[in-house]
Every structure is written in C-alpha cells, then in structure tokens.
Structure 1
Amino acid sequence: NRLKASREVESVDLPSCRLIKGIEAGAEDIDILPNGLAFFSVGLKFPGLHSFAPDKPGGILLMDLNEEKPKAKELRISRGFNLASFNPHGISTFIDSDDTVYLFVVNHPDFKNTVEIFKFEEEENSLLHLKTIRHELLPSVNDVIAVGPAHFYATNDHYFTDPFLKYLETFLNLHWTNVVYYSPNEVKLVAEGFDSANGINMSPDKKYIYVADVLAHEIHVLEKQPNMNLTQVKVLQLDTLVDNLSIDPSSGDIWVGCHPNGQKLFVYDPSNPPSSEVLRIQNILSEKPLVTTVYANNGSVLQGSSVATVYDGILLIGTLYHRALYCEL
C-alpha cells in the first residue's frame, strides 16, 4: 500500500508538450528564478534506482524560459570542485538583497551526503562553488529550501546511513525521518516523525514550510516560528507518492511531481515503466483544498515524474532518471 503497487494511471494530456533535448538521464529537481531562468538538477544516481547513464557524472543545466525556443545548457562549475563525483539531488535558489543568486544543491558524492552552495554568475554562464556542508544531522539529505545566503531547511529521507539499516527502517515503517534547520551559527532538528521526508518548499509569504512525505502520501503544512522551529498546522492526504514541491509565487498554488506506482519506480521494467503524475493544489490552508491532476502518463512518454514547476504559462516536468517535459498550459 505504501508503494501503491497495484495503481495504474489514466492519461491526462496537455495540448502542447515536448521532451527537452539533452536530458536523457533524469532531471530530479527544477527551480525557476523570478526572471524565468530555470535550473535543472540532472543525472542523479542512487542505490537501488535505475540509471540511463551510470558512468556519467551529474550536472546543473540552465534554460531561459523567455526565449522563443528555449534550450537546456549545462552550466560550467568553477575549478576546485570535484565534478567527477557530482551527484546532484534536490536544489533551491536564494536571491540576496544585493541580487546575488545562490544555488543550493544536495549532493551525493560516492553516495555520501553534502549540501553545496554555489554563486550563480549569469554573464559567465557558470557556478562558483562557495561551500560544502556536511553535518551529523544531515545523514540522508533529499531536498533543501534556502532561506538565507548560507541558511536552509533540509529533509532527511532516512534516519540511518547504512544501506541495510536504511532498508530495515523503511521495511519496519519507523517514521524516524525529519527536517533540519541549518545556519552557520546553529544546526537543529525542527520537525520529525515522517515516514520518508522528501520534497520541501516555502509559501510565498515565507510563513509556512511544506514537506512531502513520499511513502505516507502526505503533504505537511508547518508554520515557521521566529526561532526557525516548525510547528505542524495540518496534513493533506493524497493517493500517490509525492516527491518534490514547487510553489507558484503569484497564486501560492503547490505543484507536485508524483509517482502513482512506487513499485515500478524501484523495480525497473522497460516493458512496464513507471508512470508520471502532476498535481496542482490550491488553497492548501483551507478546509477543503482543491487538488487537480494536471498531467498523467503511463510511462510511454515520461517515466517517474519527480518535480513540476510553472512560469508564465509554461509547465516543466522533471523525472528521477528519465527525460524532462516542456508544456504550455
């Protein structure tokens, strides 16, 4: 039941969609700046997950959604950063008061856990590596939401780091995963008790933090306190495995990349591939939030959708290890 192993989806198509050239091995997370520049985290490799490019390191791609026919181009990363072991997962951008753009990237070099902070240098089309963060409270990082130039909330999708203990933890349904707040002065646990904490994001007014619990099929709404602690406000139950969360800055709607059937995701069969599903959640704080299926596919076009995000009538859908889709809404 946690993997929704028997669930099949009925197709929900959009009128105009195309696969994005140059993305063949996953675009696990996508974050779009207010000016329409979209960052893609590509090439994730994870124990137990399929990969279409097992020997190629991951990277960060950039796409300008204001162009008539936008293309995804790989960003250069400054010297001194180990590109060979770059294995990017969740990403988040932060714009400082002086308009400096920082990109936070969850990284799994040699299947370890770090958060990398880069400065985006638009004129050079590059990322300048500033800092690598490792911490005992960040043993199994999945996603981050940046709240300052070196400040973020992060989800841990497992409590343990040992592969066997990770498996046992999931099998026993321990609900030990958590959310951590990190700053240069303080690192602390701010929410716990999740089955498998995954995507994380923040409301446009910065009052609420949203956390996707992938194996519990839930989105948690948490209120941000002045000391950066989080208190639970509500839980929205869904009928699918919820992965990354994106926020429409103008409406506050939550866009969710989902896995209708988790079994197909982890046991890859090209003749019966994992399906994709995109949900839009309106008025999550109300008594009856409106949940709409905007896109669904049985894997014939897009396999394993992990993120969906919107900008000016454009919807981008990324996947764990497959292609990415550019759609007009």
Structure 2
Amino acid sequence: MAALKKVLIAATVAALAAFFGHAFLKINRLSLASREMPVKHLKCHYLPNIEYGAEDITVLRDGLAFLSTGLHDYLEMPSFSNEPGKMYVLDLLHPKPTPVELEIKGELDLSSFNPHGISVYTDEADDSIYLFVVNHPQRKSQVEIFRFVWENTLVHLKTVTHPLLHSVNDIVAVGPEHFYATNDRYFHNAAPQVLTVVLSLPWCNVVYYSPEEVREVAGGIQSANGINISPDKRYIYVSDVLDHEVDVFERLDGEQLVYVKSVAVGRLCNNIEVDHVTGDVWLGCHPDGTKLSKFDPEEPPGSEIIKIKSIISDQPVVTLEYGDDGHELMGSSVAVPYEGKLLIGTIFHKALYCSLK
C-alpha cells in the first residue's frame, strides 16, 4: 500500500510538472516572448500634458481628437499613478496641437474615474457629439456616456452597467445610447483566467447594448480587445490579442454580427482605429507581452504600429508603420491617422505626435 502511495505521489508530481512546463511554454508562445523587435522610426515629438498614458484615442472627421488618460490598477498592466484619470481633447488642425483637459460636469464620481476604451458618435439629426468611455472604478466595468459641449466640456448623461458587460475593454458607438463592447477576459481572478489561456478556451465575446436589449453578438474569442467599425458601418473589427489576429464581422439588420474572416497580424494588438477616408485599419501593438507585464526599465516593452490595407479583400496587406524598442515609447496601445499625421497612445507611458510624410 505504501509503495502504491509513493507511485501515485510521484505520478502526480510528474503530471503537475509537465502541466506547468506546458503552461510556461504556452504563455511564452502566446506572449511572443523574446521576439525580435523591428525598428522603424518616424519624425515625432511627445504630446505635452500626457505623462501616464493615453490608452485610447479617437478622432472626428473635422480633426478633433479625444484621449483617455491615466488608466491604472487594471488587470496585470503596469501603472505609475493612482490619480484619477482624465479626458483630453486635441485639435489636429491647429498648427501646434496641444491636449486640453476636458471639464466633466454631472453626476459622476471623478475621484474614482479610470478611463479605458473610448468611442465617439455624432448624431446626424442635430450634430450632437456623444463620447462613450469605458470606466473601471474600484476595478469594476461600466460605460459612461457624455455629450461633448464645445469646446472643452463633457456633460455626463448616463452610466451603463450590466452583467454581460463584466470585463469591458473597448467599445464602438452606433447610436446615442447604443454600442458594441468587448469583454477581454472571462474570469477576474488571475489563476482561473490563466487556466483559460493555457487551455485555449475562447470564452471572450462581443456584447451589443441598447436601452431595449443587451445580448452577446459574437463569441469564441480568445481575448477580445479593441473594436471599431468600417466607414460604411457594414463591418465590425475586433482585435483578438492572444490569437494575434483581427477578426472581421459583418453587421446585419437587428445588430447581428456574422463572422467573415480573421487577418493574421503577428503581434499582440490592442486598440483599433479606422481611417475615415481610406478605410485602412490601424492598430497599436505590443511586440513582446512578457516585457509589457513584467516591466523592467532596463529592458522596457516596445511599441509597434501596423496598418491593414484592404482588410475586406482576399489579400489584405499588413505593414509596419512605426516600431521602437521601448526607449522612445513604451507599450503602444492605439494609433490614429489624420491627414498625414499620426497620434500614438500608450497604456502607461507618453503619447507621440508624428508625421507620416
């Protein structure tokens, strides 16, 4: 009996060792650990006033850009300030664009404001501009809806919470109170979430929200992150970070989404922005996820910006538009093109204003 017990203990230890070894290799592979960093610099300068990241940026057709800044205490990402987050506006048509902090009015607890993904919706009926902001107060997930009042004020209209919106990363607005949102994880606790990654359980999803109904419209995603919409409003794009691809869905009547295809990008890509004119898809990406999560100042996480041209076609073209090893910019999360210029935001570092010409 004692011999059998020893055999069982040895077998259990061997099985656990094999599992953890497999898990380590799997996570390193998904994180693209030790991947060679491609370098491609542009003529850039840092945006003033942005010291602790601009995790998401979006721009209107008239060149007005909105920035969410100061994301902290979110999942396992580094953060260097516990101060409340802020929203900024930036006029890209100005000769020297400078971020201006937006004043927030209304019934919102600004002391716990922790902004993440953002989206803008313009109501064609009266040209009202609505800003949607993912907010993580006390590590919760909710969506704040604001009306932008020219030229530096946000009026808080509504806070949206729902059990299906349990780990929201990004949103794309399709109406004054209507949006699609990505959930980037199934579990909030690290241990079971890591298990879903190791076992390749695609339990993340896209949720559609309206005041009348809330429902899942796309599932089977390993890690849903950025989301955006094509200029003709026909297609929805979702960045699946751990699968290193962008998923394309067709938007049908009744706000249904039908999977079309996936485009491999070879990086861990975060937020998605779409060029209003060309329809090109731009992504802020991470070259090596292990450097991002561990954060060693001596070996900082790099930044990559890619563009996908003709994403709906049979032969989409993926190109590197900016690459840095982390000594200029750490942890790029979004890239916004506008008339030959490029804004690049990060999770926790600075933001760049670059020329594409």
TM-score over 0.5 for the pair:
yes
- Look up the match of 1:66: 93
Equivalent of 1:315 in 342, 347, 352? 342
- Look up the match of 1:294: 321
Equivalent of 1:161 in 188, 191, 194? 188
Task: Report whether the alignment pairs 1:220 with 2:247.
Answer: yes
- Look up the match of 2:217: 190
One-letter amino acid of the structure 2 residue matched with residue 31 of structure 1: T
Question: How far, CA to CA, are the matches of 1:166 and 1:120 in structure 2?
Answer: 37
Question: How far, CA to CA, are the matches of 2:150 and 2:140 in structure 1?
Answer: 29
Q: CA deviation at 1:8?
A: 2.5
Q: CA deviation at 1:81?
A: 1.1
- SS in structure 2 opposite 1:169? helix
Q: CA deviation at 1:129?
A: 0.4
- Look up the match of 1:103: 131
What pairs up with 1:184-263 in 2 under 5 angstroms?
A: 184-263=211-290
- Look up the match of 1:9: 37
Question: How far, CA to CA, are the matches of 1:139 and 1:223 in structure 2?
Answer: 24
- Look up the match of 2:140: 112
Task: Report whether the alignment pairs 1:33 with 2:60.
Answer: yes
One-letter amino acid of the structure 1 residue matched with residue 32 of structure 2: K
**TM-score between both structures, scaled by the size of structure 1:** 0.97
CA RMSD of superposed structures (Å):
1.0
Question: How far, CA to CA, are the matches of 2:336 and 2:265 in structure 1?
Answer: 19
Instruction: Name structure 1 gaps, 5 residues minimum.
Output: none
Question: How far, CA to CA, are the matches of 1:89 and 1:171 in structure 2?
Answer: 26
- SS in structure 2 opposite 1:101? strand
One-letter amino acid of the structure 1 residue matched with residue 339 of structure 2: D
- Look up the match of 2:311: 284
Task: Report whether the alignment pairs 1:23 with 2:23.
Answer: no
- SS in structure 1 opposite 2:193? helix
Return the index of the structure with the highest Cα Rg: 2
Question: How far, CA to CA, are the matches of 1:307 and 1:298 in structure 2?
Answer: 16
What pairs up with 1:70-109 in 2 under 5 angstroms?
A: 70-97=97-124, 98-109=126-137
The answer to whether the Cα contact below 8 Å between 1:24 and 1:52 also exists between their aligned partners in 2 is: no
Question: How far, CA to CA, are the matches of 1:255 and 1:81 in structure 2?
Answer: 32
Q: CA deviation at 1:163?
A: 4.1
Q: CA deviation at 1:158?
A: 0.8
Identity of aligned residues (%): 52
Equivalent of 2:153 in 120, 126, 147? 126
Equivalent of 1:178 in 195, 205, 224? 205
Q: Deviations over 1:73-103 (max 9, x none)?
A: 1101014311110111100000002100000
Equivalent of 1:52 in 80, 105, 116? 80
Q: CA deviation at 1:173?
A: 2.5
Equivalent of 1:303 in 313, 324, 330? 330
Structure number with the higher helix fraction is 2
The answer to whether the Cα contact below 8 Å between 1:139 and 1:160 also exists between their aligned partners in 2 is: no
- SS in structure 1 opposite 2:112? coil
Question: How far, CA to CA, are the matches of 1:36 and 1:57 in structure 2?
Answer: 27
One-letter amino acid of the structure 2 residue matched with residue 109 of structure 1: P
- Bigger Cα displacement from structure 2, 154-163 vs 213-222: 154-163
One-letter amino acid of the structure 2 residue matched with residue 122 of structure 1: W
**TM-score between both structures, scaled by the size of structure 2:** 0.90
